[in-house]
Structure 1
Amino acid sequence: MVFDGEAAASLVKEMRLSFNSGKTRSYEWRISQVNAFLKMVVEQEDQIIEALRSDLAKPPLETVVYEIGMFKNSCEVILKELKQWMTPEKAKTSITTFPSSAEIVPEPLVLSLDPVVGAIAAGNAVVLKPSEISPASSALLAKLLAEYMDNSCVRVVEGAVDETTALLQQKWDKILYTGNGKVGRIVMAAAAKHLTPVTARRIISGKWGCNNGQACISPDYVITTKDFAPKLVDALKVELENCFGKNPLESVDLSRIVSSNHFARLTKFLDDDKVSGKIVYGGEKDESKLRIAPTLLLDVPRDSLIMTEEIFGPLLPIITVNKLEESFDFINEGTKPLAAYLFTNDNKFKEEFVKNVSAGGLLINDTVLHLVVHSLPFGGVGESGMGAYHGKFSFDAFTHRKAVLYRGFTGDASLRYPPYTDTKQKTMKALVAGDVTGVVRALFGWS
């Protein structure tokens, strides 16, 4: 079956009918679907591990911790907190509307495994479009969600550009997208005054421990001072060998490149004449196995391909500056990053970094771990993304805060109706200003 604009429109119509029936709004439906998600990841853990192994050669431990574990935590937070999240929030009213009461009601939006479960918790119908470059994972999601979820309200559409285009042509109430550098560029600024093995290991974990650099929050490059660059390179070399051995292409703990197209794209970065002689570690590759070793490049030109396009792979350029403060301009001259990381013990510099760098999220003295903190929102800013999710933030992201004001039939003051006498005008002005004394003066004609 061809999934074209007509098929997409039919899908949206079907989903809206289900949503408009009101079934997704009940607490019981939302909880049943979150429980179905939990049951799915528990019962199908082996299949999930195998799908990611097939797509990326992702180590099972990484899948269990970063994929399954984090998603289970998200579900458990929702199961615990959802009833409270759904409760209307009382709002204050003013003397202008007296007597009255008001509340803010979380109202679901109809849209498109962390943000999906948040959207479901918010009472939405959901269409999920997985990435076509991870075919095993995409196929598994389509299969499992069809088996475990309420398909009248939760659907998966597989495909590539044509299918995505057809979906985007439809009228959605909310779209959450994670994509490449044309939508959002990932940046890391690692500026360290005291480089230690701990710092190097944390950079390695964020860069090569996340799908070998193929993750939206893995660092694209490092910025450090010219004086400390040699120490950083040496520390990274030692710790990379400790993690992946002397021949990383044979390491079972290093994910492969997701596709031949992406392998060719990364190879093009390394073959660029402008980065000739800039590789200070790694660079080995095996096209037959779609493997590229962790690679460090020092002081590559800023107009080189690797610095002007999203990397999304195991290549890590290291940019040097004379003073750490120069990193602010370097980062802010580009598109706003999804994540920016800083390594330093200088409290003043931490404050300057937080104040001056605009990014989806910031992390001091580590990488990627902010992703697992459900009390923090996760999302981009500007070109790096729209909206945020995680825990309550997932619920909020797919919820419209509907304002509701309640009044009775008493207290119908004549001053709001024409004719507008001087007394009425003075009284209304005082009411709008919240000036109780002025209201009294106006009503009684006191000067």
Structure 2
Amino acid sequence: MAPLRLPVVSRVLFTLCAAPAAGFPLIDSSEETHASVCIGSSDTAERLLEICGIALSGSGHTSEELARMEESLGIAYYETDRLEEARAVFEATLARDPDEDRAIRGLGWVLHDKGDYAAAADQFRRALDISASASALAGLGLSLWDLEQIGFDELMTYLDAALAINPGYDWARREKGWRLLEVDRAAEARDLFATFLEEAPWDANALAGLTKSYKALGEHEKVIEQTGRALEDDMDPAYFLDLRIGSLFVLERYRQVIRDADALVEVSPETHEGYIWRARAMSALGRGSDALAYLASAEEILGPDIFVVYWRAKLMMHHGQYETAALQIGRNIAGDEVDNYDYELLGYIEYNRKDMAAARRAIDHSLDLDATIASAVLLDALLMLQEEVGVEAAIARFEEAMALGLSRNGISEFAGELVGAGYFMHAIAIRAKHPG
């Protein structure tokens, strides 16, 4: 179970549009009509849904005007995550004109966001056969990358080519930064986002990218600084509060974590992040019983949220309540959304209960689902010590966990188990090699 599911801010934009503040009535200028505003995409996505609907209900439009209004309506649906409705708009346009490249591109982005990368790539190729477009070129590159058919350098070439066609295609510039983060090149991503923000300091997406870059680099004071800047400007409070809380937690500023977590619950009461952060901070402050009671109340609000269930089980284990922890995580394991983190946690619970056979079954399930999680590989190594497969084999497995980014606490845990098993010299050698 991934500890927290973060909001997504790297939203794919396949067109550029201004977005003035919403106001009433929908059209308040004698120089504009619903059709002109819709064609220009010169309002927020939410308002364009209504404006374009009114415009399209009228008559007297040329085929070009109709296509552009349908494009704006489809994009507005896309931007508000109503992908099926966006798809219906673009497909209706294509039923009338199969070669309308704007609708083809729009359909490509819808398919991409739905995870159908192969079909998306086909649409972007169709669009490029009709006309050279920055959006279609970037979309094709991204789809091929997601299909693992091209490498990172080739993806960057696609995005750079898109920018050669349209230097003002800000999405492509930001996307380069997000993809640099994806391949652990955080310093380059930081520099890219910082440069972008010099030109567009109001851009929330770029500020999110800069903040995530600082987080990846371990510069948590910088994360706190940048999230404060975003929150002052009222940029997506839920997202930036969550980012700031994460850095405050790493810095062990638990009382500040609680204050921000309360604010996060206030702005986003229907999501689990604020509740979990607060409970974790309460536990770190020595209020474990209160933390568990708080998560129980959060579950009454949210229902059987898989993340709340996971963290209740983890805190129960941390406070020595192994029996109830096993029952708690068993709720997730019995469900449809079980993942490697659930099985890993069960493995640690059983390990602490000294049921090594049950721990082995659980961690094998976890590793079958994802063999790249350092803490799961560590538990595998710890179990190998208990299973008497040989200390050298267990140490080799521990080194695999280190290569995956094992924490300092994990090093101490393995060294402690070596000592407990009587391998004093091996423990000394491990600590000398990995001083932490």
TM-score bin, normalised by smaller chain: under 0.3
TM-score by length of 2: 0.27
Higher helix share: 2
TM-score by length of 1: 0.26
Larger relative contact order (CA 8 Å, sep ≥ 6): 1
Higher strand share: 1
